[in-house]
């Protein structure tokens, strides 16, 4: 896995912060922005998109991840997540990200872009169920 540069780290957090402004969260009023850095160097952003039928909504992290995969990406260096208070990715997003690697860095920042936590997908999802459980490499 590639290691992001300090500049890439700052850029990724800023991309997530800017994306957060496009979140569609009229029900929770909890806007989330995510930016995912692929090994290719490309960045994919996502926001949470809520729905009047509540369970239909989608988190920012998975929006970014699924967009990246739809563009052919499979390996990722890092994801930046920006919320008002530096909230952590939910369990479903941890599981979705884990499919593509436990070493992906996770940078969690607040609305001002201040880094609140630095971790990895594997640290966030201990003893993960993954592709190996189904005989996949
Ligand atoms: N949300 C995310 O986008 N990512 C997370 O990891 C946590 C929760 C969204 C879902 C919902 O639109 C709002 O935040 C409140 O739960």
pLDDT tens for 109-127 read 999 999 999 999 999 999 9
Tell which one of 20, 22, 23, 30 to mutate to probe ligand 1, the residue whose CB is within 8 A of the most ligand atoms. 30
Ligand 1 center to residue 135 CA distance, Å?
31
Q: What is the pLDDT of residues 44-98, one digit of tens each?
A: 999 999 999 999 999 999 999 999 999 999 999 999 999 999 999 999 999 999 9
Q: Which element (helix H / strand E) includes 92?
A: helix 91-98
Residue recorded with tokens 């592709």? 131
Q: Using CA atoms in the order 64, 75, 102, 129, what is the torsion angle rounded to 10 degrees? A: 80
Query: Is the C-beta atom of 57 inside 6 A of ligand 1?
Result: yes
β-bridge pairing 105-109 and 76-82: parallel
Cβ atoms within 10 A of the Cβ of 17, count? 19
Exposure string of 69-89, with b = 16+ CB inside 10 Å and e = fewer, is beeebeebbbbbbbbeebeeb
List the end-to-end C-alpha distance of the chain, in Å, as a whole number. 16
């Amino acid at each position: 896995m590639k290691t992001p540069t300090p500049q890439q780290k700052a850029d990724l957090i800023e991309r997530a912060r800017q994306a957060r402004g496009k979140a569609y969260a009229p029900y929770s009023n909890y806007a989330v922005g995510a930016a995912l850095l692929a090994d290719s160097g490309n960045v994919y952003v996502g926001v949470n998109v809520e729905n009047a039928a509540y369970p239909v909504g989608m988190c920012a992290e998975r929006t970014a991840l699924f967009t990246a995969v739809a563009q052919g990406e499979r390996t990722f260096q890092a994801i930046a997540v920006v919320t008002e208070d530096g909230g952590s990715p939910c369990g479903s997003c941890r599981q979705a990200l884990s499919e593509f690697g436990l070493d992906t860095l996770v940078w969690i920042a607040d609305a001002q872009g201040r880094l609140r936590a630095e971790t990895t997908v594997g640290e966030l999802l201990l003893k993960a169920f993954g592709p190996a459980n189904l005989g996949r490499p």
